[in-house]
Structure 1
Amino acid sequence: MEEVVGAAWHRFITRIANRSYPEAAVQLDEVANLAGPLLRAFGGEPGLRVASAGETRHSARRRLIDRIAATGDKTTHAALDSETLRLPERIALFPERARNRELYLWLIALAGEVSRQPLSAQPAAADAPAPSARPDASLWARARDIARVLVMMRPIEWDKADTRTHAARDAWLQLNQQAVAAVLARYPGLAARYRRLVDAHLAQRPDPAKLPPDEAAAEQAIRAALLTPGSVTALPAATRDPHPVPLWLMPALDTPPPQPLHAESEAEDDAQPGNEANAAVRERKQARREELPDGRDGFVLPFRAESLLSWAEYVRVNRAADEGDEDAASAAREMDTLAVARGGETSTAKVRFDLDLPAAAQDDLPLGPGLAFPEWDWKRRALVDDRVRVQPMRARHASNTELPEALRRAARRLRAQFSALAPQRRWLRGQQDGPELDLDALVRWQAERAAGCVQPEPGVYAAPVRAARDLTCLVMADLSLSTDAHVSDTHKVVDVVRESLLLMGEALDATGDPFAFYGFSSLKRNHVRVHTIKEFDEEYDGAARGRVQALKPGYYTRMGAALRFATKVLGERPNAMRLLLLLTDGKPNDIDHYEGRFAIEDTAAAVREAHRAGLRPFCVTIDREGADYLPHLFGPHGFVVIRDPQELPQRLPQLYAQLTAG
């Protein structure tokens, strides 16, 4: 009975204390398709991605009903770091749904203005002067300093005697005022929306007349800063946090990848099969690296009572083995800071064998010792020489294969269509020599001669020539592990890739244009596998079709290395037009920290290198979220997203015809 009454009381009191408007809520997913393009349109760095933000605790004064219900002590700040703009997963602050949506758009515009500054600047030293002492520093450099002072945005408890806190809060206030003023100056059309948001937010903020004098002064300063951006230079000292400002951004430091506690365990850490999935964390959490409690020390004297709090927060979660533990996930959501430690137990028995490299006798045949390629380090803005090793390979067990029966009808149609693009023979008339007479020229010359016109003997021969199509194409297909996913009851992504290459080969063979097929996957930087399917000097025959049929899902997607290999091969061709087609089903990624902004920027650098080499790179993807990041990689007209993967075999030859029509 107590549980029933307690649950009923909890539902009642939390409903009464709730100050949000669930019926007018707008989810981040609803504006996800607009967020990326809008961020770039407002000047944001193209490599920034948009993700959801996690809750953080604050110590601002709460209402009595909030304290009774134990709610209102957390908020979700929009935050910006050098890789990600993190927005609230849901906004339900205002009773009007349109106003909540406007808040999303405003935060994106504000982030775009802030990120006009170089996001990849190196962080300042720990003893660097306070941001307010460096008025000429960029907005982003100041934000990095603020985040450093606030120690990864832990709950801010303003200390009147702490000069670092004074500098941090003043710089946070000035940063947002400068950004707001810059947005309104650059985009005057947003002024009315901003005013509506400010009016709606001020109506929800606490009344300064009901606050203690120090908190009232801070509240008045924030109100003035919202109404007149740039009018407030300092925030009066107060014993509590100011009430959260959802119209402003919170700066955040970049979260470095967790480093192994022991150097010898790095290889084991990279080999964990869950690392790729774990990279897509939906909610951001503050974290710290700790040693794993062994459970043997217990409450051995000397005993400190305050250690009870740390014991209460300890939840053992083996991320490589306990992914389905809902209790641990629920506990993690309730924690303000997660402590990450390395367990002493090995998980060798749990490693999925499909991520292990096959035995040499069963693997594809390596072609040569491999090739070294550079990789772009976006934080240093420089190419790291010989960072990646690409190993060309050829299928060991492929055999001569005929075209599958299911594709023959489509292949005949494509051959008939593309044969019209093949070079046709035409006759050059009026030549001085040739295998045949040009009868028209001969009759005209004899008539002029009979009329008394003395003319030198003109060219009366005709010679055949072939119309030239001075172009070539290289197709690079993504063969990562994700291509093992099903797109229908009978087809996987890799099946669609095979069919696409088979039909593409039939179409290109009909045109007579030289072409090459390759596939790629990777397992860290020293093992990027490039599968040679058909080279330029090879015929498209049963052996090539057999190598297409032998393709199978591989490992990960180190896209930059694959593009650099394709650029090297295609760059050696003498043709005037050289088309590089990339077939993929997702973002670039690998398990040795090749993910997120690092992978995106390296791929973008590889595409730029291809353009400088005189190539035309073009991406064909079945990733429905491709429009969020592909404009940064290939440009607004350098890619196409195919919504239905099963359309790829038919669409790919058509795209080739369109791209080479000129």
Structure 2
Amino acid sequence: MEETVGALWHKLITGAAEKRYPQEAVTLTSIGKAAGIFFRALGGDSGLSVSAASATEHGARRSLKQRIAGSGARTELTWLDENTLRLPSALDILPQRSLNRDLYLWLIALAAVDEPGHTAWVVRSQQATLTVFDRFPGMRSRYQRLLDATLALRPDPAKLPEDEAAMEQAIRAALANPGSIDKLPRASRPPYPVHLWLHPNPPRTSPSQAGGKAPPSGEPQQEGDGKSKKTDDTKRRQAERVDMPDNKNPFILFFRAESIFSWAEYVKANRPTEDNNDPAADPAADDLNHLSVAQDGKSVASRLRFDLDLPSAAQDDMPLGQGILLPEWHYKKQILQPNHCCLQPMVAREAAPCALPHHLAATARRIRSQFEALTPARVWVRGQFDGTEPDLDACVQFTADRLTGHAAERGLYRAHHYRDRDLACLLLADLSLSTDAWVSDTARVIDVVRDSLYLFAEALSATGDRFSLYGFSSLKRENVRFHVIKEFGEKYNASVRGRIQAIKPGYYTRMGAAIRHASQLLAKQQATQRILFILTDGKPNDLDQYEGRYGIEDTRVALLEARQMGLRPFCVTIDEKAGSYLPHLFGIGGYVVIRKPSELPKQLPLLYAQLTR
């Protein structure tokens, strides 16, 4: 009963303090894909993904009702960091749904033209507004409608202290006439949030989020966790690393009773796995200003146990040669670092020749029969000047033209020609640790990848197309593992099937180095079409700085280099969030997302057939 009354009171007082229109709300989820497309279409950085922003404190004066309700202290604003465009998770501050949607579009346009620098926030915001007006004149009328609606939300200067009133008047003038205000008057409090501008003081990016240092030893980064529950919570929260408090005697309270409420800022929660998700954890995290994160050091039960140390030489795959030094792109410095990575070609040490698995036999027979129709065939070519037989149709047409006085020289013979498929394809499979995750009760990602390689090889061996199969994983830049499964000059046989059977999940996904070496191998093939097939289940990452934007940009440059060699890269992925980064890497039409991973083995050969039709 007490909880029910409390919930009703909270709803009542919050509704009275905060004037919002939930029935007119527009969520970021509903416009997420359109937001990314619109941002890039307006000239925004194509390497940024779109995600929800967390609420931050603004420090402005609040009304009495807001102070009683404990609301209005934080708000969601728009900002950009090195990896992400952060937009409010939902907009319901305006009385019409169309206005809330227009506000999203305006903020996206503002973010697309914003130029970070040391300019004051008010000047930079006005400059960005004028730039939007200049580049996209159609946004001016939308801005005027939004201006009239948002000014009604702002506090009345007549009810504010003198210094805050002067600052509010200056902001109103800057909104109404962009470019008219050079600086804001000083005031004892920050201004009320300006929903038509970007965040005045965005949260700083932590090193791990910026693609910096990896976590300390003992905190491995998991790429996949088996059958863990999915989550769509991509909000960014402020956190700080603290030491684990030593509370060996829980009956002795080492704090003053009057400070008990401050302990809500610290919640001891082990989150190395997602086996026991608390549904109330996300709302609780949203209510905290800062999250304190500590390393407990205690072991926990997990469905997935792994060791990221390299195996001994006797147990590891057999290296081929001394390793190959490859460059890597540093997107912050905009330079290609020579000899930055060491790629080690390897072949499975224990890969006994084997037959095609029984559960794939029927599917393989059907696919082979379909692909045999694509094999080179002898066809008649008409209208030739020399050939084995006269082309009767051409002779009749030539005679008719000559009788009408319009005869022109033409070929009067037909000849047999062989229509050859001049193709070469290299399939590069991601064998990182995330492929150890389960996609069903009986199969893991690596099992699906293995079946896909089997059927892909069966299909291409039926057409006679030249193809090769490789896999890759990595453990920092000094050890990029490149697994040789089938080379171009090798026949598809029981030995190749044995190597396919021997593939297993490994470390991380340094994709740029693997693509560069695969491109060099494929570029050596003399063929009209050279296709680089990349099979993956996630974005590039590694233990070092190869995380986030760094890995994305290096992979993108490696793909540009492949296209300059005359290759055609194409990505097949089962990552449901691939739409946030694959368009930047492969372009529209350069990738496909398989929504049901179990369908990948059947879909992969068909995708190849469509690409080479």
TM interval, short-chain normalised: 0.7 to 0.9
1:220 partner letter: Q
Flag the 1:423–1:25 CA change in 2: closer, same or farther, 3 A.
same
Given that 2:515 and 2:559 are in contact with CA atoms closer than 8 Å, whether structure 1 keeps it comes out as: yes
Shift in Å, 1:563: 0.8
- In the alignment of these two chains, the number of paired residues is 571
Distance 1:190 1:652 in 2: 44
Ranges in structure 2 where 5+ consecutive residues have no aligned partner: 226-230, 249-254, 392-413
Q: Deviations over 1:22-77 (max 9, x none)?
A: 22222221111212211101110110111111111122111111111221111111
Which residue is equivalent to 2:506? 554
1:395 to 343, 348, 359: 348
Given that 1:273 and 1:352 are in contact with CA atoms closer than 8 Å, whether structure 2 keeps it comes out as: no
Given that 1:482 and 1:553 are in contact with CA atoms closer than 8 Å, whether structure 2 keeps it comes out as: yes
Distance 1:199 1:474 in 2: 58
Distance 1:317 1:497 in 2: 35
Q: Give the 5 Å matches for 1:509-658.
A: 509-658=461-610
Given that 2:39 and 2:108 are in contact with CA atoms closer than 8 Å, whether structure 1 keeps it comes out as: yes
Shift in Å, 1:539: 0.6
Q: Give the 5 Å matches for 1:239-638.
A: 239-250=188-199, 252=202, 255-257=205-207, 269=216, 272-274=219-221, 276=223, 282-288=234-240, 313-315=265-267, 320=272, 332-338=285-291, 345=297, 352-353=305-306, 355-424=308-377, 467-638=419-590
Flag the 1:254–1:391 CA change in 2: closer, same or farther, 3 A.
farther
Q: Give the 5 Å matches for 1:41-52.
A: 41-52=41-52
Flag the 1:322–1:475 CA change in 2: closer, same or farther, 3 A.
closer
TM-score by structure 2 length? 0.82
Shift in Å, 1:472: 0.7
2:216 partner letter: D
Given that 1:35 and 1:108 are in contact with CA atoms closer than 8 Å, whether structure 2 keeps it comes out as: yes
1:272 partner letter: E
Given that 2:474 and 2:507 are in contact with CA atoms closer than 8 Å, whether structure 1 keeps it comes out as: yes
Flag the 1:497–1:275 CA change in 2: closer, same or farther, 3 A.
closer
1:211 to 157, 160, 163: 160
Shift in Å, 1:173: 0.8
Matched, 1:180 2:133: no
Q: Deviations over 1:137-182 (max 9, x none)?
A: xx32x2xx36xxxxxxxxxxxxxxxxxxxxxxxx111111111121
Shift in Å, 1:629: 1.6
Given that 2:352 and 2:499 are in contact with CA atoms closer than 8 Å, whether structure 1 keeps it comes out as: yes
Which residue is equivalent to 1:61? 61
Matched, 1:191 2:143: no
Distance 2:61 2:430 in 1: 54
Shift in Å, 1:518: 1.0
Name the SS of the counterpart of 1:285 in structure 2.
Answer: coil
Which residue is equivalent to 1:119? none
Shift in Å, 1:596: 1.4
Name the SS of the counterpart of 1:47 in structure 2.
Answer: coil
Ranges in structure 1 where 5+ consecutive residues have no aligned partner: 115-138, 147-170, 260-265, 297-302, 430-436, 442-461
Q: Deviations over 1:406-441 (max 9, x none)?
A: 433333333333333333357999xxxxxxx96989
Shift in Å, 1:240: 1.2
Given that 1:402 and 1:542 are in contact with CA atoms closer than 8 Å, whether structure 2 keeps it comes out as: yes
Flag the 1:15–1:267 CA change in 2: closer, same or farther, 3 A.
closer
Flag the 1:197–1:590 CA change in 2: closer, same or farther, 3 A.
same
Which residue is equivalent to 2:100? 100
Given that 1:37 and 1:628 are in contact with CA atoms closer than 8 Å, whether structure 2 keeps it comes out as: no
2:150 to 178, 184, 201: 201
Shift in Å, 1:579: 1.0
Name the SS of the counterpart of 1:353 in structure 2.
Answer: coil
Flag the 1:642–1:352 CA change in 2: closer, same or farther, 3 A.
closer
Distance 1:487 1:181 in 2: 50
Larger proportion of helix: 1
Shift in Å, 1:222: 1.4
Distance 1:563 1:641 in 2: 19
Name the SS of the counterpart of 1:421 in structure 2.
Answer: coil
Distance 1:488 1:417 in 2: 28
Name the SS of the counterpart of 2:328 in structure 1.
Answer: strand
Distance 2:591 2:560 in 1: 14
Shift in Å, 1:607: 0.4
Which residue is equivalent to 2:251? none
Flag the 1:244–1:267 CA change in 2: closer, same or farther, 3 A.
closer
Which residue is equivalent to 2:181? 232
1:246 partner letter: H
Name the SS of the counterpart of 2:174 in structure 1.
Answer: helix
Flag the 1:39–1:277 CA change in 2: closer, same or farther, 3 A.
farther
Flag the 1:438–1:52 CA change in 2: closer, same or farther, 3 A.
closer
Identical pairs, percent:
54
Name the SS of the counterpart of 2:344 in structure 1.
Answer: strand
Flag the 1:607–1:253 CA change in 2: closer, same or farther, 3 A.
farther
1:571 partner letter: A
1:535 partner letter: E
State the superposition RMSD in angstroms.
3.7
Q: Deviations over 1:482-520 (max 9, x none)?
A: 333343444433333222222221221122221101122
Which residue is equivalent to 1:13? 13
Distance 1:330 1:636 in 2: 37
Q: Deviations over 1:381-401 (max 9, x none)?
A: 112223222222222332222
Name the SS of the counterpart of 1:269 in structure 2.
Answer: coil
Given that 2:224 and 2:433 are in contact with CA atoms closer than 8 Å, whether structure 1 keeps it comes out as: no
TM-score by structure 1 length? 0.77
Flag the 1:566–1:306 CA change in 2: closer, same or farther, 3 A.
farther
Shift in Å, 1:556: 2.3
Which residue is equivalent to 1:35? 35
Shift in Å, 1:578: 1.5
Given that 1:276 and 1:591 are in contact with CA atoms closer than 8 Å, whether structure 2 keeps it comes out as: no
Which segment drifts farther, 385-394 or 505-514? 385-394
Distance 1:361 1:335 in 2: 51
Name the SS of the counterpart of 2:471 in structure 1.
Answer: strand
Q: Deviations over 1:206-247 (max 9, x none)?
A: 111222222122112212222222222221221111110112
Which segment drifts farther, 367-376 or 412-421? 412-421
Distance 1:205 1:465 in 2: 78
Distance 1:584 1:482 in 2: 10
